[in-house]
Structures are given as structure tokens and as C-alpha cells.
Amino acid sequence: MVRRLPIVAVVAVLLLVALGCGGPLVRSRLPQDPLVRLREQLQGLFAEAAFGNAFWGVLIQSADTGEVIFSQNEEKSFVPASNMKLFTTAVALLKLGPEFRYQTRLYGLGEVDDEGTLQGSLLIEGSGDPTISGRFMDGRITATFEAWAESLISRGIRKVAGDIIGDDDIFDDQSLGPGWAWDYQTDWYAAQISGLSFNDNCVDISIVPGEEIGDLAQVELNPVTSYVTINNTLRTCLHSWEQEMKFWRHPGSNQVDLTGSIALEGKGYEGWITVDNPTLFAATVFKEVLMARGIQVAGQALDVDEVDPESVANHHQNWPPVATLTSPPMTEIIKVVNKRSQNYYAEQLLKTLGAVFTGKGSFAGGVEVVKETLAEVGISPGQFIMVDGSGLSRHNFCSPRQIVTLLSTMARHSSFTYFRDSLPIAGVDGTIGLRMRGTTAQEKTWAKTGYVDRVRALSGYVYSLDGELIIFSMIVNNYSVPTSMAEDVQDRACQMLASFSRRGAFSQRKIP
């Protein structure tokens, strides 16, 4: 009796024969094209159910070939948060140049008599420089003012008969960005903007618990100044889980309420509190430094708006500067903006663009310059909504396409390395210094983060296994899951791109 094979077995045998003979079925089982596989992986990643009530905008494109690798809602407008800093810093680099430096000048408005008295006032002429702080002075916050005091002493000046005047007129007097929330005003990330600024327009605060439970905490300010008054009711508690500190600077004043509790078993707290009227803050601290160095000041610390305009008119022509501060170059300034996501620096740059190129040191003046520059590279001003330089406002709107267009323009520019190196590096520094560590994306991804409530953005550059430069923008709005989940999606996408190879093998092409 002849047994017949079941039909399933027959099919299996035929498949084996076909595979052995190298027929058409072999080609269907070859590894999928790497680009197709990458696109499928990205499609699944950005379709995760946890973001079903949110909106992802994504564009990933090769800088080398211009080919779009993946896109999703790339033409739609999103709140970009701090990805807006990409536009501000790129245009500052393009328009002002990598070697641009601010110059802040100190003028003596009068003659010095035989007894060493300046028969007039000292005027600090602000240039919009954001760097007058300890950041570039080995942490010595008042280093610039101390150097100016020594300069005056070397000129024989021992007394100032007039006032210390802070001149901030290079900018207008709108100190907060359009749409900034009222309850941000105490926090460092919403520091006021001014043509004359000092210490990021904040006072540093250090807090340690008292010696016993119930004792008031001990508070120190840096710089030590009378300009800020702390109303301290912060009490010492035992455990860290009981700790809850609150800071509140009363709007329009420099009175700060410090309330809550600080743990006896903890390490204390170090942070920053914004000041009201940064111009007057700078003038006040400078006066205090002069007095500490033995230079008497008979007058007051004043904002230029408080003095008779005629008394300071034409001071450039009438008096040479007695001291000048030159800032670090633009290449260093944009690193602070992008790596630290420093809002205040970004806004100072935006108003500087307006002051230099339109004569209007305002948010609107700076936005005008940015939009005109972007129009030259194909970004329509009518579809790009910008109201501040940092992205703190929720009134900003842009698309992933616009961000990638900007990043592509910079990738072709002679200043590209400066721009790329201003961005945080995955697993190394800045706002993604702790992200993507130990993955293929570490040290191969340069990207700017962005965050305001329910918004998480990441845009920048990643080098593939072949050394191909890939540009990406990934923005999610209106999510209700923890922000860490949005970051995980972005990080996994970067890892996929860093692991991608068109050749299927590692190339020795080096990252420039």
C-alpha cells in the first residue's frame, strides 16, 4: 500500500527544494532593506498607544543626500518650547558672527580733583551683554566690579561725588517675554531682560538647616547685597520626606518670602532667585563693591530712567570710558544658551539682534531680524510664529519642517561646527548629558531639548554607523503620560538612527 504524504508535508518539501535550488523564494527571505526596516521601526515607535491623545511631529532627513528618512505631521505647527533657541542662536551666529563680543563701558561724568574726588557720577553703559557674572570668571560673581574698582583706584579716584547710574537704554523696558506665566517670575528661568544685566539677573541663595528641629534655616546670598530682602520663616525638620521649600518674590519688588521646611539630615539647598529691575541691581552691587574697596560714593545707585536726561546726554563725546569689559565671543555665549538651555541668555541675544540691525532693542525688533533671515533660507515668515527667543512662551509655534530646514542650512554653513558644538551631546553634557548613556547614540548625537508643561522636543544631529549626518526634529504636544515616556521615545529614535547603516556594516568615516 502506497502512503500519500499529507498536503502540508508536500508543501513543506516543495519549499525546502525551492530554497535549496536558489529559486525566487530565496530572495523573499533575504534581510529587508535597512532603510525600509528603519522606517518601520520608527513608525511603530511614534505610534505607541500611550500617546494616543497627543500629537507627534517628526521629520528625519539625511544631511548628506537630502533624502527624507521618516516624517509624521512635519508641516504642522507645534509649541516648540526651548527648540526656539535653535533659531535664536543660529541667527545670532549668522548675523553677528562667531567672533562677536559685547563691550560694556564705565564712564566718569566729571573731572577728578586734587583730592581724588570725581566731581560727577559714574555711569555703566549696558550693551546687552549677558555674561557679567561669575560664569566666565571662575565663579567670582563680582569680579568685573572689583576690577573696575581697582581701575578707579589706579586713576587716583577715592570718592565719587555723584551717583552710580545704570544705563540700559540699548534695550526697551519690557523685561518679561510675551505670554510668560505670572507665577514664573521668582524662578531663574524667567529672569528679567535688561540692557544692563548682572549675575544672570538673579541672586544666588544658599540654605542650610538650623542646628535643631524647629530652628530657622540659615540663609546666605551671593553677592551679599542690600538689594534683596529675605523674609525667612523656613524651619528645620527631621526627615527629607518632610522637606518642602517655597520661594516667592513679590512682583515689582525685591522682597522674597522663604517658607516651608528643610531637612536636618539633608545637604541643604543652593539655587537662584530673580531680581526686579536688573539695571538698578547692577548699579547697587557696583556701589557696594566700591564702598567695600574704600571708594566713597556720596550719591545713590540709580536707573538711568531716574535721572535728568540732559545730565547724561552726549557722555560718549564728553568723557572717555574709564573701564571697559569685553565679553567672551559668540561661540561661547551660544554654548550657554543651548547646552544649559539658558532662557535669559537667549532673550538677551534676541534683543541684541533687534538693537544692532533695526535700532529696536525689543522682542519685536529681534523677531523681525530672525524672520528676515529665515525667509532667506526658505522658511515662510507667515507660518513661523515667534514671540520670544527662549521658547518659554507658549505663544511660539513652528513645525518640524522649519526646524530641519534651519538645521540643514547650518549644516552647510562655514560656522556649522560652532553651531553643532553649542548643542548638548548625548551622554556627555548639557541637558542630555544623562540621556542615552551606554547606547549607540552616546557621543554621536548633538541635540537641543525643549520643555514646557505637556511639551517635549528634541532636535539636532546624529551620525549613523556609516558616519552619515542625519538631521531630526521630534516634538510632542499635549501628552498626559509622564514626560520620561516622551524622552524614552526620542532617545530610542536617536539610538535607531545612530545604529543605522545603509551598507549593513560599520564604516571608518570619522565624525568631523
Domain containing residue 59: CATH number: 3.40.710.10
Q: How many domains does the chain have?
A: 3
Selection from 188, 76, 81, 77 nearest residue 490 by Cα: 81
Domain CATH code at residue 305: 3.50.80.20
Place of cell 539658558: 342
Q: What is the CA radius of gyration of the chain?
A: 29
Q: What is the largest CA-CA distance in the chain?
A: 132
Q: Are residues 388 and 479 in the same domain?
A: yes
Q: Which three cell numbers stand for residue 398?
A: 513652528
What H or E segment, with its residue span, contains residue 448?
Answer: strand 445-452
Instruction: Specify if 220 maps to a domain.
Output: yes
User: Are both 323 and 422 inside the same structural domain?
Assistant: no
pLDDT per residue rounded down to tens, the chain (512 residues): 444 444 444 444 444 444 444 444 444 444 579 999 999 999 999 999 999 999 999 999 999 999 999 999 999 999 999 999 999 999 999 999 999 999 999 999 999 999 999 999 999 999 999 999 999 999 999 999 999 999 999 999 999 999 999 999 999 999 999 999 999 999 999 999 999 999 999 999 999 999 999 999 999 999 999 999 999 999 999 999 999 999 999 999 999 999 999 999 888 999 999 999 999 999 999 999 999 999 999 999 999 999 999 889 888 888 999 999 999 999 999 999 999 999 999 999 999 999 999 999 999 999 999 999 999 999 999 999 999 999 999 999 999 999 999 999 999 999 999 999 999 999 999 999 999 999 999 999 999 999 999 999 999 999 999 999 999 999 999 999 999 999 999 999 999 999 999 986 444 455 66
Is the residue at 254 inside a domain?
yes
Q: Last residue of some domain: 274, 290, 319?
A: 274
pLDDT tens track for 128-156: 999 999 999 999 999 999 999 999 999 99
In a domain, 309, yes or no: yes
The label of the residue with cell 548638548 reads 424
* CA–CA distance, 293 with 148 (Å, rounded to integer): 11
Q: Do 457 and 426 have their domain in common? A: yes
> Helix (H, G, I), strand (E, B), or coil: what is residue 443?
coil
Instruction: Decide if 456 is inside a domain.
Output: yes
Of 425, 337, 331, 330, nearest to 86 (Cα)?
A: 337
Residue 425 DSSP symbol: B
Note whether residue 88 is domain-resident: yes
Cα–Cα distances in angstroms (integers) from residue 239 to residues 267, 268, 323, in the given order: 12, 12, 51
Contact 58, 71 (CB under 8 A): yes
Range of the domain at 320: 103-175+277-329
- CA distances for 121 relative to 107, 124, 289, angstroms: 8, 10, 16
Question: Cell numbers at residue 456, please?
Answer: 517635549
Domain co-membership, 485 together with 410: yes
Task: Identify whether residues 168 and 314 lie together within a single domain.
Answer: yes
Q: Is residue 508 part of a domain?
A: no
Task: Determine how β-strand 235-237 pairs with β-strand 321-326.
Answer: unpaired
Same domain, 323 and 335: no
pTM for this prediction: 0.92
Which amino acid makes up residue 412?
Answer: R
Residue 328: cis peptide before it, omega within 30 degrees of 0:
no
The Cα 408–Cα 386 span in angstroms is 20
Do 55 and 129 fall within a single domain?
no
Three-state DSSP class for 164? strand
Domain boundary (255, 274, 293) is at: 274
For the chain, the 3-state helix, strand and coil shares in percent, each to the nearest 5, are 35, 25, 40
